[in-house]
Structures are given as C-alpha cells and as structure tokens.
Amino acid sequence: MNRPAQERSGLGRRRFIRRLGGIGGMAALGALPLELFAARGQIQRLRYSHNQNRTRLVFDLNGPVEHSVFTLSEPDRVVIDIEQTALHKPLPQLRDTGLVARLRHGVRHGHDLRVVIDLSVRARPKSFLQRPSGDAGWRLVVDLHDNRLYAGRSGSEETAKRAPQKPLRDVVVAIDAGHGGRDPGAVGRHGTHEKDVTLAVALKLERLLKRQHGIRPVLIRRSDKYIRLRERVRLARAKKADLFVSIHADAFRDQRARGSSVYALSLRGASSEAARWMADKENSSDLFGGVALDQHSDLVASVLLDLAQKATIQSSLDIGDNVLGRLKRVGRVHKHEVEQAGFAVLRSPDIPSILVETAFISNPREERKLRSAAYQNKLALAMSDGILHHFKRKAPPGTILSGRPAPAVG
C-alpha cells in the first residue's frame, strides 16, 4: 500500500444473523440431517423445567462451547447460536410452558447450531456456561424470565409513569475503501490498483452486512473518488458510526512478503491526536455523544479524552482480534496479532477503528487472488463474521443487538 508519509512513519504494528425472514424458514431447517454439521462440540440432550416466573433450558454438552443469545420481536423469539456444535439427537419439543410456544433448530455456516424459541409472551433471556461438577458434565443454561415481572418495579403500581425511551437503533459500521480517484494506492506487478481491490471488497462487505438484522453499513466511498484521510473520519462521525473499518492491500519491496494484517491505533498516535482534538472547538463540542470537552477545564477534558481513547483502542483491538481470527481461515496472515500504528484514519477518539491489509498486492500470487471475485468474497465474509462476532457480545447500549437502552446523558 502506498501511504502518505504520516502513515508510513507509524507502520510497525459471522455473519451474525440473517434477517429473521431467514429465521422464518427455520421450521424446515429442523429436519436437516445431523451429518451436515462439521462441528466439534455436541449437545447430548436438552432438559427443561418451569415455574411460575421462569423457564430453564439446560443443554448437556460434551465440552465447552461459544454461544450467544438475543431476542427478536414481531413475533417474539429468543435465538441461541452455538458455535461449532452438532446435535447427538434431535431436540425434544417443549410443552407449552406459558412462556415457550415451541422450539426449532437449524444449521448455520455448515458447522454452527441455531436454536429458535418461539415465545407465548415476551421473555428476558439470561445464559451461562456451567463447568463439570459431580456426575454432571458441561452445561449451557438458558433462563427465560417473564418480561411482565419487570414492568413497573419502582416501588409503585405497574401503571406508574416511566420516562420515555428512544427506540433501539442499528449498529452502524462505516466501511472505508482505501485510496481512490487520483490516488491509486499500491500497484501490483500485473497492473492491479489497490483502490480498485479495496472498493470491490468494501462493496461485498456492505452487501453482507446489509443482510444482518440490527446492522447498518455505510460506505465512505462507493465509486472511484478521492477523499482526504481526515475527511473519511469526519464522514464516519457524521454517520454516527460505531465502528470504522478501513480496507487496504499491503505492498513491500520484497515480493515474497504475503499475508493479511489488522491494525488498531497506537498509543503514540492517540497521544499526538489528543492535542488536535482539544484545540478543535467543533470536535470538542460534540464528542462522546453530547459531553462537550469545552465545558470542562483543560485538565478534566484531558482526563476524559485519555479515558475515551484508551477505551476506544481496547475495543478496536478486540474487534481486530475477531477479524484477524477469521482471516486466518481464509489464508496466511502476515502477523498473528493485531498490530498498532499511527494511521490517520484510525484516530477518532470515540469510534473503534481498524485497518485491514487484505494481502500483499506486491506479491504476484496474492495479486492474482485479490483480482478474483471469489477471493474478495472470502475476505469480505471473514471481516463480516469477525465484526458480527464482536457485536453479538459487546453491542453498544441503545442498539437492537444489545437489547437495552442507552444511558441518559446529562
């Protein structure tokens, strides 16, 4: 990748869910043969119990699993995604417990299990993994609590007035195709321009994320257009992005260099950016969702900015780890950890940001891959899976994926 000097100086370091129109067809998936699972974990059996306020489901496992649980409405459902897991035998149908109407299951990505619980009334799920104890092995426990029990618990009647809440929103992912227009980026031995590869992958990533419930992708550029680096960050902030993903293709004088890389901002880059934000009245007046830095003393503002930057970098590293882990399944990676550098496009203090070097365009073999639509799709799918894996677990408050309102600002 051909980078401006200020970038080169710092260089050193599931799919989530288909729209439940997709789940609407899950009734048929329950009949799929169990052999279709290319999975490691196994559910031995499902047990359940019920009392007046709660239904408990216990999945007996042959080992630990990764899982996520979320709710959907219209109609009300609870969805349980269990990674790399198959069924030892079909799940039993649950009797109507007052909360649960029926249970369905299906295969995701050829190796994951999705369980969908159709609810009679809205319920609040909680889940946890239990380690082996006594005669019991690993267990995944999912509790469904009657949501009506949580209404009006303020020491008064259920009819007590509550403060109105904003509707939950989508998680916004800003996708930045590197270079563009008069800036071609790196050029491969066979004439491939980095700006064309990055835009092709960005468009494919946008298409994948558009299919996901609770995610709204926005493209920084969708044509061969030149956009300054800081303008890219400004556009992401204007779209109120929860994540900024910049897509590039690496280059090096040694044509043998190969593999994908993922970068987050370095602490040095964060420190150098802090002074700029402190001095910029436009930035400081709308940072952190309405908490204005210019209303505080320089010392307090500096502390607030430092805390925000550290939290943002940590989120960036977490998302980067998830994306890099998926890229390892596509092909070779250049470094096995998320690296950190002072790239200008990573410097927003309040938006987690990652830069993905898809491959080395200077390597003739990788250049041929980058020209391939099939390989571009693999890269986009890996990034989509990594992003969604993160947000299934750590979605911002106030979003559909988190299922909880944002805290009040004031």
Categorize the per-residue pLDDT at 301 as very low, low, confident or very high, splitting at 50, 70 and 90.
Answer: low
Structural domain count of the chain: 2
In a shared domain, residues 280 and 204? yes
- pLDDT tens-digit series, residues 14-56: 333 333 333 433 433 333 343 333 447 899 889 888 876 788 8
In a shared domain, residues 180 and 107? no
Q: Within a 10 A sphere around the Cβ of 145, how many other Cβ atoms?
A: 16
User: What mean pLDDT do residues 246-272 have?
Assistant: 84
Q: Is the pLDDT of residue 344 over 90?
A: no
Question: What does each C-alpha distance from 120 to 72, 75, 146 come to in angstroms?
Answer: 13, 9, 10
The structure's pTM equals 0.58
Whether residue 156 lies inside any domain: the answer is no
Domain boundary among 146, 181, 204: 146
Q: Find out whether 384 and 377 touch, Cβ atoms under 8 Å.
A: no
Q: Is the pLDDT of residue 279 over 50?
A: no
Categorize the per-residue pLDDT at 342 as very low, low, confident or very high, splitting at 50, 70 and 90.
Answer: confident
- The whole domain housing 99 covers 32-146
Beta bridge partners of 176: 246
Question: 112 — phi, psi (to 5°)?
Answer: -110, 155
Beta bridge partners of 25: none
- pLDDT tens-digit series, residues 160-190: 344 456 788 999 999 999 999 999 999 999 9
In a shared domain, residues 117 and 229? no
Whether residue 387 lies inside any domain: the answer is yes
Q: Within a 10 A sphere around the Cβ of 300, how many other Cβ atoms?
A: 11
In a shared domain, residues 324 and 382? yes
CA 50 to chain centre: 34
Give me the pLDDT at residue 407, please.
Answer: 62
